[in-house]
Amino acid sequence: MKNQNLKHCRICFSNKLTSYLDLGKQPFSNSFLKYKDLKNEKKFPLKVVLCKNCGLSQLSIIPNTKFIFSKYDYLSSSSKALSDHYEKLVKKLVKKYNVFSTNTVLDIGCNDGILLNHYPTTFRNVVGVEPSDASRYIKQKRIKLIKSFFSYKTSKKYLQKYAKPKIITITNVLAQIDNLNEFAKGLSNITNNKSLIVIEFPYLTHMINKALFDLIYHEHLSYFSLTPLKFLFEKFDIKIVNFEKLNIGASGPAIRLFLAKKKSIYKPSKKVAKQINFEKNWGVKKIKKYNFFRNETKEKIKKIKEIVYSKYNKGFRIGCYTASSKGNTLLNCLNLKKKIILFASENNKKKIGKYTPGSHIKIISDESFNNKKIDYAILLSWNYKNFFLSKTQFIKRGGKFIIPLPKPHIK
């Protein structure tokens, strides 16, 4: 499958699409490169459009997701902060919703098992769906794997082997789904009136208000608010029952949705309707807010470059900390001169020794990075800044972070 131009909205199928942000041509952000492949790198348009009918933001192209996930170097468990986040989520779900060891639990997009690992060891009906090779790194033998993209077809395959789940978690996954209607249809098929669906994703209004442009990359096909999701899931007999706003998520501040069948035991909270109304007044279907986002993005890119060049021109050695997907969007938008960024620090062994897509910065281990006498490092995973400021040897030996977003500054 080749990359395709988006002709209609992937939720409501309207062709009322308006472009509001163009980040130029960029490579796939998770396609880390070997040295021999640097000259053959391919780039694709990275442009976001708004559906004025339902309010969904989405990329202007449909990337070849099979290609992206066939060369997928992201291992969730390489992030201790993210693992801690999911541990808290699992403990909360088990306690609050009376999940027993005999119940089936399912994680869609389970990666290397980072979330499923945290269910109590007495739980035996633990199932994960994962299309990428990250599933090869699942260590717990109790985790049953379906190696596939989730869809209605996958849901039928699931039901041939497993019971309908009590809990379904979908974290940092929904944005990667092209056929959202098939995905929602599949969820409806595997749930009953006692099932609870938990979805986490970066919240659109927060992304726009804070100009978090680094959340945009080819792996993320869509950018969500509650408004289009309510429309999507109601088509398949699923309702939003509650939500929580989170300071930490896989890609930054996030929102956590709780969904269930319309006739389920779960009653919708009044704050769901209030939030939908907030989004309407905010202007989720109007281009004005998104034009503000475009202008703020330009200003933030300019400010980050000013900070980097001011330190570089004074002779300081500069690197970047963590080789994250969203960090690659940021680096490619900065378009810095070659050799300004000397190295990228990373603890994911699959990335070490490779080069960042587009900016072609060599990735080395955290230990090696600490020996390179780097003075300033752009913290690409800025959403975990408190974790890195308190835990890293780079900071303890006197290094400083350039925090790029939401407000560019040095810490």
Per-residue HEC secondary structure of 361-385 comes to CEEEEHHHHHCCCCCEEEECCHHHH
Cβ pair 90, 107 in contact under 8 A: no
pLDDT score, position 63: 83
Residue 1 predicted with pLDDT over 60: no
Residue 348 backbone phi and psi in degrees, to 5: -80, 110
Question: What is the structure's pLDDT at 80?
Answer: 87
For 114, phi then psi, to 5°, come to: -55, -40
Confidence at residue 71, expressed as pLDDT on a 0 to 100 scale: 62
Q: Which residue has the higher pLDDT, 68 or 276?
A: 276
Cα 34 to Cα 57, 70, 72, 177, 354: the distances in Å are 33, 15, 13, 28, 5
* pLDDT band, very low/low/confident/very high, at 64 (cuts 50, 70, 90): confident
Task: List all residues 6 or more positions away from 90 whose beta carbon is below 8 Å from its beta carbon.
Answer: 115, 118, 119
Q: Radius of gyration (Cα) for the chain, nearest Å?
A: 21
Going by pLDDT thresholds of 50, 70 and 90, the confidence category of residue 4 is: confident
Domains and CATH numbers, the chain: 76-285 (3.40.50.150), 315-410 (3.40.50.720)
Q: What is the pLDDT of residues 312-348, one digit of tens each?
A: 999 999 999 999 999 999 999 999 998 999 999 999 8
- Residue 229: the pLDDT is 99
**Who's near 277: CB < 8 A, 6+ residues apart?**
none
Q: What is the pLDDT of residue 68?
A: 67
Torsion of CA 148, 149, 153, 158, to 10 degrees: 50
Structure confidence at residue 67 (pLDDT): 66
pLDDT tens column, 243-253: 999 988 777 78
208-232 pLDDT, tens digit per residue, is 999 999 999 999 999 999 999 999 9
**How far, in Å, CA of 313 to CA of 330, rounded?**
21
